[in-house]
Amino acid sequence: MLYRKWSADLRRRFGYRVQKISLDIGSGCPNRNGLGEGGCVFCDSSGGGNGAWMRGESLELQVRKGMKSAVEHYKAKGCILYFQSYSSTYGPLDRLKEAIEKARVEASRHLPVWGLAVGTRPDLVSGEVVSYLSSLCRSDFEVWLELGVQTTDEDGLKWLRRGHDLTCVEDTLDRCLGESFSVSAHLIAGIPGEREDQLLRSARWLLDRGITGLKFHPLYVLRDTPLEDLYMNGLFEPLSMDRYVSKVAEVLALEGSRFVVQRLTADVWGGRLVAPSWLADKNGVMAAIDEKVRSRLGV
């Protein structure tokens, strides 16, 4: 095994394919003006998700569509509910609680529900949120808090227009790590001005503080984002596939035994991708990363 893949870990524990079902409840974000404007430099109106809320799809419909895809395309026999879009803990906690319960009821009509993943920002994890997520954990129901950390470089956080600093990330980890739920972090490679080994530095910083899962993707350009304007004006150039593959492979070869890999690259839906074009070949990118890791490990 080159590194710990979450999909393989789930199959080992449950004995079959367990698929994440991505859900969008239109939570918004303190970095945005409503859902349509503002946000981080890379974020479009779908808030990092599939845009279901903006299309007017009810939560129940999203669950049913996700289940259909999980069974037909992935042969899944179980699922994990993933509240992905925007910042799921933004706004009244009761709204999130209601959505989680509604999704669990609907999903359980189709497949066993083995867990929950909640995506949010480090500055939106209150003590109340921590207590609630801990209360959901059972021996047969796991909970993941997914934090959009993106980088541990302060200048990188400013360039991305994240609206929080690294101290905020550290304070949030102090509140969460040691609780009954697990914590994973999203990291971006290719932020202008960062060190060549920044992805590795960020991963090590997080792992040293107890993070158990990581997700990677390059900084890529979506339509109707501030980053698209920078790209079109020659002020931003995405990483080449070779450079991105090398950066991720470096982390996996050196630190891959310390965490579960929950994502190696990005999914982009509905013709929203502007650049780099290689990002559309997800399987090719993942295969290239595996090959590079093998080369680094000499296997």
- SS3 assignment, position 117: strand
- The per-residue pLDDT for range 126-152, each reduced to its tens digit, is 999 999 999 999 999 999 999 999 999
- SS3 assignment, position 63: helix
Sorting pLDDT into bands at 50, 70 and 90, what band is 109? very high
**Chain mean position to CA 154:** 20
In whole numbers, what is the pLDDT of the chain averaged over residues? 93
**pLDDT score at 71:** 96
DSSP class of 146: E
How many other β-carbons are positioned within 10 Å of the β-carbon of residue 23?
26
- The per-residue pLDDT for range 230-256, each reduced to its tens digit, is 999 999 999 999 999 999 999 999 999
Q: Distance between CA atoms of 187 and 80, rounded to whole angstroms?
A: 21
Contact 161, 189 (CB under 8 A): no
Q: Is the pLDDT of residue 275 over 80?
A: yes
Total-model pTM: 0.94
- The per-residue pLDDT for range 67-97, each reduced to its tens digit, is 999 999 999 999 999 999 888 999 899 999 9
**pLDDT score at 155:** 98
Q: What percent of the chain has pLDDT over 90?
A: 84
What average pLDDT does this structure show over 104-119? 97
Q: Is the pLDDT of residue 269 over 80?
A: no
Q: Distance between CA atoms of 126 and 273, rounded to whole angstroms?
A: 34
What average pLDDT does this structure show over 45-68? 84
Contact 22, 66 (CB under 8 A): yes
What average pLDDT does this structure show over 196-212? 97
| Amino acid residing at 12 | R
Sorting pLDDT into bands at 50, 70 and 90, what band is 49? low
Contact 87, 28 (CB under 8 A): yes
Q: Is the pLDDT of residue 101 over 70?
A: yes
Between the alpha carbon of residue 258 and those of residues 34, 204, 247, 255, the distances in Å are: 38, 10, 17, 6
Domain parsing of the chain, residue ranges: 6-297
**pLDDT score at 11:** 95
CATH of 6-297, one of 3.90.1150.10, 1.10.1660.10, 3.20.20.70, 2.30.30.140: 3.20.20.70
Residues 6+ apart with CB under 8 A from 45: 35, 36, 51, 54, 224
**pLDDT score at 40:** 85
The residue length of the chain stands at: 299
